[in-house]
Amino acid sequence: MAEINLGVLLTLKDENTSKYNFQNYKVAETVAYAGLTYDFAPFSFSGAVANLQGDNLDAGLVFQATKVTRTWAETAVLDGWVAFVQVVLLDEASAIQRVMHSYTGYVAAGGWDQTRIELSLNTVMDAVRGTIPGRRMNEQLVGNIPITAAISV
């Protein structure tokens, strides 16, 4: 029976800079990949699930609850940090062979109890539930706009 080894690389960013880079498969070690260094953190990623319309691309991250984790997790929720997740295929020596899936979402909600912290990620393209403003039609975008209902063709 063949074994498949998977790992997750996570980058959390505020508007301008990377705040944290984590990986969940090499305990007490760092991993260098694509010019970034990822520290170990025990976390899990529940992948994105899409419906037929493609408008439901929520995902989640679960971390161990510590004082340090709670501090930055609360900031991530309040400031709407962006999470970039890469699920990677590993060889037997835990070296990255290739990226199997990547997901980018903003931290939309979170909560914690005594043992764990959960962060909900929404797709960055979700303008309905997010705070992305809608566009208004104006003459620059669509040309002449009729100002009366009496239109002759």
Tens digit of pLDDT for each residue in 4-16?
899 999 999 987 7
Q: Where are the strands (E) in the chain, listed by range?
A: 5-13, 18-23, 30-33, 36-40, 43-49, 58-64, 82-90, 96-112, 116-123
pLDDT at 52 over 80: no
Sign of the alpha-carbon dihedral angle for 5, 110, 16, 39? negative
- The confidence score (pLDDT) of residue 132 equals 47
pLDDT at 70 over 70: yes
Q: What's the pTM?
A: 0.76
Over range 126-132, report the average pLDDT. Answer: 49
Structure letter (DSSP) for residue 4: -
